[in-house]
Amino acid sequence: MPSLAESGGRVDGRVDGGEGSGELSAPRLRPGTPERAGLDPGELDCLVREFRRLTDGDQPWAAGAVLVAGRGPVIAVEEAAGWAVRYRAYDEETDTGVELPRGERVPATTRTPFDLASLTKLFTSVAAVQQLERGTLGIDARVGAYLPGFTAAEHGITVRHLLTHTSGLPPELPLYDCPDDRARFALLRAGKPVTAPGRAYGYSDLNMLLLQQVLERITRRPLDVLVRDGITRPLGMTATGFGPCPDAAATEDQRRPWAKADRGMLRGTVHDENAWALGGVAGHAGLFSTAGDLAVFCRTLLAGGSYGTARILGPDHVALLLSPPGLGFALDRPWFMGALAGGGAAGHTGFTGTSLVLDPSTDTFLVLLANTVHPRRRPPDSVPRAAAATRLARAVRAVRRA
């Protein structure tokens, strides 16, 4: 897939009978100068310099990374740095990565796909809101109406609880330790909340796994098909899909005790152990994508659900998705949104090093994809994410002051 700069911001997708086909088109992304985007060039120069340093040194923040940032329909920054594949393995005795010879490494480019990890949740959430718009799903309907026999149904968990992470369910279940699909399904079916539903926020992968079950039950289609037909194909996001993705950036030399499975160095198969155990298609993880494709996703939501002649949601339902407390999307989180937080910014992060932020108040977006878990997972560090978002916020403010 060509980069946005190479393609002029165009994509090859066509409307595939999506709801609202034939309505007025929304501007597509195009490359342009900071001035054309209404952003301060000095702040963006600083953003690019700081971004390039993230992959420098013997123990960088990430082996490789890609950055796309813009305002309105204009891409003002599109950069790649470092390596999509740098290490052969992780040496636990020296706590260092075993580097490949330079000629065998794979450089990161603007077209490099990354394992999105929990950014997958955003696509599951959009797929759910599409069903809300069509009237096939009720936001305050109890999960038991769609999934009889699930323990969650006995506790009054609703679709809204799942989308807002207020179900009370634990963060995860060890599906990766189950011997077969039947045992995995039985464990998921038996999952019960640890706190009363609706009482407090508690981030849980199980919310999106149950939501996946609901969506597949009411549509009679698997999640990968719902995402493809309802989101990525209409928007021309041809580099986005569930794995395997052989050209993706490498992730982890996944071994116990630091991981939950012994799988070796991973490239092109999902990093998340539960998503892997479920065959690579899961509501909480499993998608691979490029920064350019995710910029299209951000632009679509900022434009009220339309991109070109495609419409994946109506404006009212985009507003529902992005209004407090957010349906699947995190809102105004300074720890990774920096100074973009505070005005209704929405986004998410992924364990592998991925993140995106879109800010309706300034019509800006920032996508930062990285393989921070290559060659081994480390304690999460979102300081670079927040710093990049703050640079973008300053780029808007500097223009406003001028």
In tens, the pLDDT along 370-395 reads 999 999 999 999 999 999 999 999 99
Average pLDDT for 69-76 = 98
Give the pLDDT score at 402.
65
The CATH number assigned to the domain holding 194 equals 3.40.710.10
What is the distance between the alpha carbons of residues 143 and 108, in angstroms, rounded to a whole number? 42
Task: Give a yes or no: residue 68 inside a domain.
Answer: no
What is the distance between the alpha carbons of residues 233 and 329, in angstroms, rounded to a whole number? 22
Domain count for the chain: 1
What is the distance between the alpha carbons of residues 165 and 193, in angstroms, rounded to a whole number? 11
Res 21 pLDDT > 80: no
Q: Could you tell me the residue range of the domain that residue 237 belongs to?
A: 117-244+272-284+304-348
Q: For residues 280 and 286, is the Cβ–Cβ distance under 8 A?
A: yes
Identify the band that residue 15 occupies on the pLDDT scale cut at 50, 70 and 90.
very low
What angle (nearest 5°) sits at the alpha carbon of residue 50, between those of residues 107 and 381? 85
Res 8 pLDDT > 90: no
Task: Give a yes or no: residue 173 inside a domain.
Answer: yes
Res 7 pLDDT > 80: no
Q: What percent of the chain has pLDDT over 90?
A: 91
Using H for helix, E for strand and C for coil, what is the string for 193-226?
CCCCCCCCCCCCHHHHHHHHHHHHHHHCCCHHHH
222-239 pLDDT per residue, tens: 999 999 999 999 999 999
Task: Give a yes or no: residue 150 inside a domain.
Answer: yes
Residue 282: count other Cβ atoms within 10 Å of its Cβ: 26
Lowest mean pLDDT among 52-56, 132-136, 325-329, 395-399: 395-399
Task: Give a yes or no: residue 47 inside a domain.
Answer: no
Task: Give a yes or no: residue 324 inside a domain.
Answer: yes
Task: Give a yes or no: residue 5 inside a domain.
Answer: no
Task: Give a yes or no: residue 216 inside a domain.
Answer: yes
Res 275 pLDDT > 70: yes
What lies within 8 Å, CB to CB, of 364 at 6+ separation is 39, 69, 70, 71, 340, 358, 392, 393, 396
Give the pLDDT score at 210.
97
Task: Give a yes or no: residue 342 inside a domain.
Answer: yes
